[in-house]
Amino acid sequence: MIASDGTTALRTRLRRLIDERLPADYVGSFTGDPKDLATAEEFSRLLGAEQLLCMAWPAQYGGQAAGPWLQTVVREEMWSHFEPRGAQYMGVNWVGPVIMRYGTEKQKQQHLPPISSGEMIWCQGFSEPEAGSDLGAMRTTATKEGDGYRINGQKVWTSYAPIAGWCFLLARLDARTKDKRDGITVFLVRTDSPGFEVRPLQTLVGPYHLNEVFLTDVFVPADQVLGEVGQGWRIVMDVLAYERIGIARYAKCDRLLAEVRESIGDGWAEVPAALRDRWARALVRSRQARLMAYRVVASQDAGRVDPADVSAYRIAVTILDQEVSEVLMELAGPSVLAPDSDGDRLARTIEDHWRYALAGTVSSGTIEMQRRSLARAILENR
Ligand SMILES: Cc1cc2nc3c(=O)[nH]c(=O)nc-3n(C[C@H](O)[C@H](O)[C@H](O)COP(=O)(O)OP(=O)(O)OC[C@H]3O[C@@H](n4cnc5c(N)ncnc54)[C@H](O)[C@@H]3O)c2cc1C
């Protein structure tokens, strides 16, 4: 990234805030220790109060109308400090932008300020038991009733549902459409609506991450439909594009590779040459992923994003994550498998990183589906 237009000053400001306000032992908000989640919530509110959480948004919705490069600086600084925005990134990266694009003025006024102030967490109700990669196969239904809709069905893998106040939910009004992508509608649903039931799933990625959501006659007022009824698929495509670029895990990989090298100190010469080579290759790949992210940001800045670039970045960053986590594990040694919860911050971070990296090639669309999208985008552009 070219250090201009305020990017250096912004990095300095963010690092100062992090130094002053983020505990030195913070490794992420989903460790299972409630104090880490509280830290992330407090830090998000701090960023919100400084108008740094959603910098790219217009001032009237809590931003500074900053360009995508400044927003990228925020993203990188957060990821290289173990993402103290916690679950807020959902609202910041894609819920807010699509509400801004497709929402009514009333929806913007209602939903955007609580996101940009760091007060409101959103979850994403897309996947269903028989509809993950094949999202068009989703079966949750919406039925018109009075001045709203009744929703029935089941979602699965809904991240952060127990701590979210709202859910960005897909449901189908008409099951008989020829193309299964037709007829899908986006509903903005309060998670405390009667009939909205969350059941947490115990998984490797830790608390709050994965849940089932059961919807039984949930009533959603008509003014909480986003965009046009039955035209949700286009919004979904936008969501996925925003979601896939908005996560700067390469910044975290870069930092952890540097830290593990530093922790080994003079012992580095004793590390087997093949492992040192893998460390160097992983570092090169993290820089490559950074450049691929910058390619997308540059096209965002120019107003036209190529879906091939988005998929290529997502593929690169998820493979990077897994490669880095393996190298880190081997360099740091067995203590990482059972880190002392009060002890070695680096070991705890590596363990946390490794667990999540495993899921990276599934969440936000599997790597196989990303490869399909990349191939399709390249062929269509020929
Ligand atoms: C950590 C994590 C967080 C998540 N958070 C959310 C969330 O907040 N909200 C939400 O809605 N969902 C969420 N998901 C769900 C995620 O989007 C789905 O798991 C993903 O889309 C895959 O769907 P599936 O699990 O049904 O697998 P399937 O779609 O059944 O896929 C199974 C396997 O078959 C392969 N496959 C399927 N179709 C094809 C094809 N046409 N060509 C080639 N290979 C194919 C897949 O690549 C995969 O390897 C999350 C998942 C994870 C792991």
For residues 116 and 138, state if they share a domain.
no
Q: What is the mean pLDDT of residues 354-372?
A: 93
For residues 20 and 110, state if they share a domain.
yes
CATH of the domain at 213: 2.40.110.10
Whole-number pLDDT of residue 228: 95
Res. 3: pLDDT tops 60: no
Q: How far is the CA of 279 from the centre of ligand 1 (A)?
A: 30
Whole-number pLDDT of residue 381: 76
Q: Domain for residue 49, yes or no?
A: yes
Final residue in a domain of this structure, among 204, 231, 258: 231
Whole-number pLDDT of residue 240: 85
Q: With cut-offs at 50, 70 and 90, classify the pLDDT of residue 202.
A: very high
**Degrees, nearest 5: CA angle 35-38-43:** 125
Tokens found for residue 204: 């490797």
What does the CA dihedral 228, 169, 305, 370 come to, rounded to 10 degrees? -130
For residues 113 and 133, state if they share a domain.
no
For residues 221 and 161, state if they share a domain.
yes
Q: Domain for residue 15, yes or no?
A: yes
For residues 197 and 223, state if they share a domain.
yes
Among the listed ranges 74-83, 133-142, 172-181, 319-328, which one has the minimum average pLDDT value? 172-181
Q: Considering only CA atoms, which residue is closest to atom 18 of ligand 1?
A: 132
Q: Domain for residue 2, yes or no?
A: no
For residue 134, which phi and psi values (nearest 5 degrees)?
Answer: -90, 70
Q: What is the mean pLDDT of residues 367-380?
A: 92
For residues 301 and 373, state if they share a domain.
yes
Res. 164: pLDDT tops 80: yes
* Ligand 1, residues at Cβ distance < 6 Å: 123-127, 132-133, 157-159, 205, 209, 359, 362-363, 365-366, 368-369, 372
Contacts of 12 (CB under 8 A, 6+ apart): none
Res. 382: pLDDT tops 70: no
Average pLDDT score, the chain: 93
Residues 74-89: pLDDT tens digits?
Answer: 999 999 999 999 999 8
- Higher-pLDDT residue of 90 and 304 is 90
Q: With cut-offs at 50, 70 and 90, classify the pLDDT of residue 334.
A: confident
The label of the residue with tokens 């609202």 reads: 91
Whole-number pLDDT of residue 369: 94
For residues 205 and 255, state if they share a domain.
no
Q: Domain for residue 367, yes or no?
A: yes
For residues 44 and 55, state if they share a domain.
yes
Mutate to test the pocket of ligand 1, among 127, 170, 356, 374 (most ligand atoms within 8 A of CB): 127
Q: What is the mean pLDDT of residues 304-326?
A: 93
For residues 225 and 350, state if they share a domain.
no
Whole-number pLDDT of residue 339: 66
Q: Domain for residue 255, yes or no?
A: yes
CATH of the domain at 50: 1.10.540.10
Mutate to test the pocket of ligand 1, among 155, 157, 201 (most ligand atoms within 8 A of CB): 157
For residues 114 and 26, state if they share a domain.
yes
- Higher-pLDDT residue of 203 and 244 is 203
Atom of ligand 1 nearest to the CA of 129: 26
Q: Domain for residue 171, yes or no?
A: yes
For residues 107 and 129, state if they share a domain.
no
Final residue in a domain of this structure, among 70, 94, 121: 121
Q: Domain for residue 165, yes or no?
A: yes
Number of domains within the chain: 3
Distance between CA atoms of residues 346 and 335, nearest Å: 10
Q: How far is the CA of 373 from the centre of ligand 1 (A)?
A: 14
Domain that residue 203 falls in: 124-231
Q: How far is the CA of 370 from the centre of ligand 1 (A)?
A: 11
Whole-number pLDDT of residue 242: 80
Q: Domain for residue 185, yes or no?
A: yes
- Higher-pLDDT residue of 89 and 104 is 104
Q: How far is the CA of 238 from the centre of ligand 1 (A)?
A: 18
Query: What is the pTM for the complete model shown?
Result: 0.94
Share of the chain above pLDDT 90, in %: 78
Distance between CA atoms of residues 211 and 162, nearest Å: 8
Q: With cut-offs at 50, 70 and 90, classify the pLDDT of residue 340.
A: low
Whole-number pLDDT of residue 131: 95
Res. 174: pLDDT tops 80: no
Res. 229: pLDDT tops 90: yes
Q: Is 381 exposed, middle or buried (0-12, 13-18, 19+ CB in 10 A)?
A: exposed
CATH of the domain at 352: 1.20.140.10
Final residue in a domain of this structure, among 201, 231, 261: 231
For residues 163 and 260, state if they share a domain.
no
